[in-house]
Amino acid sequence: MKNKLLFVLSLSVVAAGCARDGILAIPQCEKYSQTITACNNPKNDPQVTINTNSLIFAPPNVCAAPGSTIVFTVVPPPQNKVGSVAIIPKNPADLWLIGTNSPDKGKIEITVPEWVALNTDHDYGFVTIDGGCVDPRVHVE
């Protein structure tokens, strides 16, 4: 619990310290290497698989409806300790888009609030405790 708290607090400090022109800039974070295409998943049951070894997201752009819960499955789970990976928004207005793999080391669940505007994109950073990070996207429709 103590390590998890320290990890989340350090992410908060990084996020707050790196805010510039309303956009969060995660230091050393590479742009997502896969092309982000239109999403074709069911928006009422959004699911993403995150491979923490390759930092590949499937799908890289997930569609979600307001009120739905996005389930990010973190694989391979034996290597991922509770609280070892987190999702943080790139835009401070998207504070709803924050989560970590706690209490379940194998997934992160984030609910899209009902008030999020339709047909909007929400970029986020996926950060690992060892410093790896990428920046995929959620599209609300």
Least confident among 33-47, 48-62, 73-87, 88-102: 33-47
The answer to whether the peptide bond before residue 78 is cis (omega within 30 degrees of 0) is no
CA atoms of 40 and 31, how far apart (whole Å):
22
pLDDT digits (tens, 9 = 90+) for 69-115: 999 999 987 677 898 899 999 888 999 999 999 999 999 999 999 99
Q: What is the pTM (predicted TM-score) of this model? A: 0.75
Distances in whole angstroms, Cα of residue 58 to Cα of each of 5, 19, 107: 28, 28, 14
Please name the CATH architecture into which domain 2-140 falls.
Sandwich (2.60)
Question: Would you list the domain boundaries of the chain?
Answer: 2-140
Determine the average pLDDT of the residues in 23-35: 53
